[in-house]
Structure 1
């Protein structure tokens, strides 16, 4: 049984859209991410302006950013598709909810998946691993990251639902 679409299109953490309809309406102006993610968060449909972190098996920057005001943004984390350690678990995700983030897309692993499912946050990741990551804050913030044939550029808009992720230069 699929989750009903949110009813408040202005809510920063949801939207009244499907990515398939957005592609139908806007065609090649949208970039569609080819990476196949699993849904882990309580919000299956989410959108917002992109913020980025590039890191490898170290979630220090992810934690720092999600502990700051999100203002409805979506954090895109390029973890180099590493599945060796989780880049986010329930405690960091709870801080994202508290700080008003719409979602997190991780090109890597998460942990605490049962707890993530109960949070009012969009979460997509490649998979899960219970192993903790390093906490050195090694990496880079708010630079374009590329995976799944898409460049995720800070300030552009990400739209995510059951079918996938699309990105546009501006809010639709």
Structure 2
């Protein structure tokens, strides 16, 4: 499936939800889409690591990291693992690091900002639950479409192209 620009998706499907424009592109793929899987955690990326270690099957990992700007929740090693395991992208309501390497990784990555400090590893958090940030509640099984124009959430896969 080709990547259709999010403005065109908005024109064709006015009922899609649009995340507030908080996120910046850091990945090697500027446009990406797929079914949503979620992680909710705060300054502990143990469940992010667990998720990207699993087959992604073209899904987008949506991480509600509480909007923390005190540490990074994704770096080059986890991004490489995600790309190698077939994830389409990662949406991080938090920070990332190793941004030069992320830009070379075949993975869509959008996050709030860059931060050099790594997160804790306490095994805390939740997976596959609805998460809310940027004005939208995002649930596993919905579809996410992202590019340099923004991030959209649809209830189902949209017939594009």
Q: TM-score, normalised by structure 1?
A: 0.90
- 1:103 equivalent in structure 2: 89
Task: Show the counterpart of 1:4.
Answer: none
CA RMSD in angstroms comes to 0.7
Structure 1 segments (4+ residues) deviating >3 Å: none
Give SS of 2:122's match.
coil
Structure 2: gaps spanning 5 or more residues: none
Say whether residues 1:94 and 2:83 are aligned partners.
no
Match of 1:26 among 13, 26, 29: 13
Q: Which runs of 5+ in 1 are unaligned?
A: 1-8, 10-14
Q: CA offsets per residue over residues 80-121 of structure 1, 9 Å max, x none? A: 100101000000000001100000000000000000000000
Give deviations 1:41-70, integer Å, cap 9, x for gaps. Answer: 000000000000000000000000001000
Q: Matched residues in 2 for 1:104 and 1:51: separation?
A: 10
Contact 2:3 2:32 (C-alpha < 8 Å) held by counterparts: no
Secondary structure at the aligned position of 2:73 is classed as coil
Aligned to 1:147: 133
TM-score (norm 2): 0.96
Q: Comparing both chains, which one has the higher relative contact order based on Cα–Cα distances under 8 Å and sequence gaps of 6 or more? A: 2
1:35, distance to aligned residue in structure 2 (A) = 3.7
**2:131, 2:21 → 1: CA distance?**
13
**Is contact 1:156-1:171 (8 Å) kept?**
yes
- Does the residue aligned with 2:153 lie in a helix, a strand or coil? strand
Where 1:42 maps in the other structure, the secondary structure is coil
Higher strand content, 1 or 2 = 2
Q: Which residue in the other structure is 1:84 paired with?
A: 70
